Structure 1
Amino acid sequence: MKLTILGGGGFRVPLVYGALLTDRGPGRVTEVVLHDLDDSRLRAVARVLDEQASAVGDAPRVTATTDLDEALRGADFVFSAIRVGGLEGRADDERVALAEGVLGQETVGAGGIAYGLRTVPVAVDIARRVARLAPDAWVINFTNPAGLVTEAMSRHLGDRVIGICDSPVGLGRRIARVLGADPQQAWIDYVGLNHLGWVRGLRVAGRDELPRLLADPHLLGSFEEGKLFGADWLRSLGAIPNEYLHYYYFNREAVHAYQQAERTRGAFLRDQQARFYARVGTPGTSALELWDRTRAEREATYMAENRETAGAGERDADDLSGGYEKVALALMRAIARDERTTLILNVRNRHTLAALDTDAVIEVPCLVDASGAHSVSVDPLPGHATGLVCSVKAVEREVLAAAESGSRATAVKAFALHPLVDSVNVARRLVEGYRAVHPGLDYLK
């Protein structure tokens, strides 16, 4: 089975390959094609993968190419993890937004809109090529903003594109761990949009254990989201929000923390990964060991400004292991082998959330088998959550419309309507600021 990884020179690719190395079952991936626009990054990542495979017999064969059509042709699965504009683009997204006093995070607020505006046209081109060159392939999208990009691709690939994210997985795992439950045996009642969802229940053997967690201040304060949001706020919500909702519920504090930081997250990762790619080919250097050290530093500093604002301290060691690669492997297994499983995924709404139309991509538990991912029915969201979901989905739709039409006015509308952008004039300046630093936005007229 052939897996094509778009963004194959990306730093997190070894996580995916490492997961593939654990799969010894029938119908497993036997060929991995890495595609990237940067040949030097491809060679660097290939070195890491080669060391990963050195002690594994019959490891999936790895090839690399800068030719997109060659990479896609004949693929069974396509894993998309591209970053249009690179980490320099992410750093610019943050800098331009913070100069206007608004959030520049890569998936939330102004930064997420800017990232979406330059990513959607590229993702749509990829979707069209997949439809032409590998019409039977399943596309697993991890490209951010994941829900928005998945929805853009679904207009050309239908249900054969599925978005994944490690945030709901990590959240469910932490809640289960605190409650003494096996995450594999727990049903996580989670629903929303990507990076905008809530756990409303965690059922073990048919019993909802979340009320026990919400009633215990000690338990609430013992894990990441409890430290971020505070026990009182979680009890008020009656749910556990995705960590990215910290940018909404504590927006003023988050913006201030990012403005005071020595470097933004994007600038930190840009500099960190530049060092990694520069050193990975040095004689006598183990590419895998260097990658491991760099990844550990990356994970330990994740959302550091938010944790500092909340006084949450360092991340727990159990939260440093990622997880999206495990979701991707479980998804591929379920489809390729009809190994039925339940995963939280980004899929078309159908009739799951009545407040949204059928084509809106949402993040929700899905039953997965050989025919794809099928969202389960869920209870309606409370009014405050429904309002936020509808508001952000409306912004995503304006981003899609701007990307399709090239309308600068529509791009301004997308920024102005976002709950975390507080002025039409700020929205106008954001569009001009982003156009000045991103050649990929020259299409906005």
Structure 2
Amino acid sequence: MKAHNVVIVGGGSIRNPELMAMLASQKEKFPIKRLVLYDIEADRQEIVGKYGEILMREYYPELETFLYTTDPAVAFEGVDFALVQIRAGKITMREKDEKIPLKHGCVGQETCGAGGFAYGLRSVPAIIELVKTIRKYSPEAWILNYSNPAAIVAEATKRVFPGDHRILNICDMPIAIMDRYGELMGCTRLDFEPRYFGLNHFGWFTHVYDKKTGVDLAPAIKEKLLSGHTFGKGNEEHVMEQSWLETYNFMARMLRDYPEYLPNTYLKYYLYPDHVVETSDPNYTRANEIMDGKEKKVYSMLNEVIKLGKIKGTPYELGSERNVHASYIVELAISILNNENNIFLIIVKNNGIIPNIDPDMMVEVACRVGSNGAEALAMEPVGTFYKGMMENQYAYEKLTVDGLFEKDKTKLLQALALNRTVVDTDTAKKILDDLIEANVDFWGSEFTTVKND
């Protein structure tokens, strides 16, 4: 089998140790000749890169080339797959995304509501420039994009790169939810074949089929959730953080109120915004939890491995566990490479997939993915509640991108006023002005010239 050239964009991400480990473990199915980390920040990437050199030397000796660079010509020339996971503004801006809305009594979350809005306005220009650069050096590369907020990014890339079927915008949240379903059913998510619809971070599972028998396990999953099952913290090696534990356990409450379909966990921000705000600490958000927890833990591990000069025979030796984020994007690449036509949940242009929804809407649905890209599975029309929810959310996403591209502050205000986590116009004005001030280095000064009353 031909070996491929792969670049990981966002090379300094704390997710990359897991992603590199997954690539090494899947070398039989996804052989790599050249692996490159690319980031615009050399110092941050260097730590991950030095760790990667040790990991590849010990676990992937067949790899011909491993390097890390800030030079796009070096990173993107002759690439077959670009795995993209950038965070525009890093975690310092994420903290502002979460805390500014909370100051005004609205949901503070990195991809939903006003926080996701701010993040989207930073991400879109960065992603567009990145895709243009990749296409300059590798016109046929597959670009598998994890960068958030995926719905807004997908709306923008649809417009700027129409018809580029080798850009696939994906999210691992539904996959992580299926891992929880696996816990309930005594199996793993790899035993499931899902059917799903919605927008990114805004959708529902209609069916969860058993791959072997074809039986729809969704009714049994619902029954277990509604009977009082609660998810535990996990084992000593992999402890689920308290905020995620609460998020997964909230699925049962949503299901009791809306029992037709199994909900994406992120719907709690849109359907229960008052509850989210009441139970949030405006001074200590998820960003702080990561900075004080996972970020320190990962960098401590990286620095210790670099100091030791090895991974094997140390407490950091790679195990058999499968990280959801890492495994999903690698599984997707393998399905493309080997034309496996497996089911993945992909964000694609509707084009009649859901017949009673705007054909231009970027929907997240079940797709068969092979060497020709993603082929969505057609659905029946969705009910009035779901149609209304989706159309409102899509109007918010569309106006966000319109406002960015047209430098139109009124459209940005309209977007926030439509978002279910904000709604009130006066509140939207205050949040928007605070976000403009916080993001002037990213959005530019165009939006600061006209202040809202």
Match of 1:351 in 2: 352
CA contact (8 A) 1:88 1:270 kept: no
CA contact (8 A) 1:159 1:347 kept: no
Match of 2:166 in 1: 160
Structure 2 counterpart SS, 1:2: strand
> Per the alignment, do residues 217 and 156 of structure 1 end up closer, same or farther by CA in structure 2, a change over 3 Å counting?
closer
Normalised TM-score (structure 1): 0.85
Match of 2:19 in 1: 16
The match for 1:115 among 116, 119, 122 is 119
Task: State yes or no: 1:202 paired with 2:208.
Answer: yes
> Per the alignment, do residues 371 and 278 of structure 1 end up closer, same or farther by CA in structure 2, a change over 3 Å counting?
same
- Structure 1 Cα separation of the partners of residues 134 and 443 of structure 2: 24
Match of 1:323 in 2: 324
* Structure 1 or 2: more helix by fraction: 1
The match for 1:135 among 129, 132, 139 is 139
- Structure 2 Cα separation of the partners of residues 28 and 403 of structure 1: 40
> Per the alignment, do residues 350 and 44 of structure 1 end up closer, same or farther by CA in structure 2, a change over 3 Å counting?
same
**More displaced stretch, 167-176 vs 274-283:** 274-283
- Structure 1 Cα separation of the partners of residues 197 and 53 of structure 2: 39
> Per the alignment, do residues 236 and 156 of structure 1 end up closer, same or farther by CA in structure 2, a change over 3 Å counting?
closer
CA contact (8 A) 1:91 1:270 kept: no
The Cα offsets for residues 222-250 of structure 1, whole Å up to 9 and x where unpaired, read as 44677213368447422211111121232
CA contact (8 A) 1:128 1:156 kept: no
- Structure 2 Cα separation of the partners of residues 154 and 160 of structure 1: 12
> Per the alignment, do residues 21 and 275 of structure 1 end up closer, same or farther by CA in structure 2, a change over 3 Å counting?
closer
Match of 1:399 in 2: 400
Residues 412-427 of structure 1: pairs in structure 2 closer than 5 A: 412-427=413-428
AA matched with 2:271:
Y
Structure 2 counterpart SS, 1:347: strand
Structure 1 counterpart SS, 2:207: strand
Distance apart, 1:413 and its partner CA: 1.5
The match for 2:270 among 245, 248, 268 is 248
Task: State yes or no: 1:144 paired with 2:158.
Answer: no
Return 5+ residue gaps in structure 1 as ranges: 294-317
Match of 1:92 in 2: 96
The Cα offsets for residues 22-67 of structure 1, whole Å up to 9 and x where unpaired, read as 1233662221211112111111101222332243231463211112
Structure 2 counterpart SS, 1:199: strand
**More displaced stretch, 215-224 vs 125-134:** 215-224
Distance apart, 1:128 and its partner CA: 2.1
AA matched with 1:36:
D
Structure 1 counterpart SS, 2:287: helix
Match of 1:305 in 2: none
Match of 1:315 in 2: none
AA matched with 2:201:
H
AA matched with 1:341:
N
AA matched with 1:335:
I
AA matched with 1:6:
V
CA contact (8 A) 1:163 1:345 kept: yes
**More displaced stretch, 173-182 vs 98-107:** 173-182
- Structure 1 Cα separation of the partners of residues 442 and 433 of structure 2: 13
> Per the alignment, do residues 217 and 35 of structure 1 end up closer, same or farther by CA in structure 2, a change over 3 Å counting?
closer
- Structure 2 Cα separation of the partners of residues 112 and 287 of structure 1: 39
AA matched with 2:368:
L
- Structure 2 Cα separation of the partners of residues 411 and 433 of structure 1: 13
Match of 1:211 in 2: 219
AA matched with 1:408:
K
The match for 1:442 among 441, 444, 453 is 444
CA contact (8 A) 1:406 1:443 kept: no
Match of 1:311 in 2: none
Structure 2 counterpart SS, 1:339: coil
Normalised TM-score (structure 2): 0.84
- Structure 1 Cα separation of the partners of residues 58 and 153 of structure 2: 37
The match for 2:70 among 58, 63, 66 is 66
AA matched with 2:149:
P
Structure 2 counterpart SS, 1:426: helix
- Structure 1 Cα separation of the partners of residues 257 and 323 of structure 2: 27
> Per the alignment, do residues 44 and 410 of structure 1 end up closer, same or farther by CA in structure 2, a change over 3 Å counting?
same
The count of corresponding residues between Structure 1 and Structure 2 is: 418
AA matched with 1:19:
M
Identity %: 25
Structure 2 counterpart SS, 1:342: strand
CA contact (8 A) 1:220 1:231 kept: no
Match of 1:221 in 2: 229
Match of 2:236 in 1: none
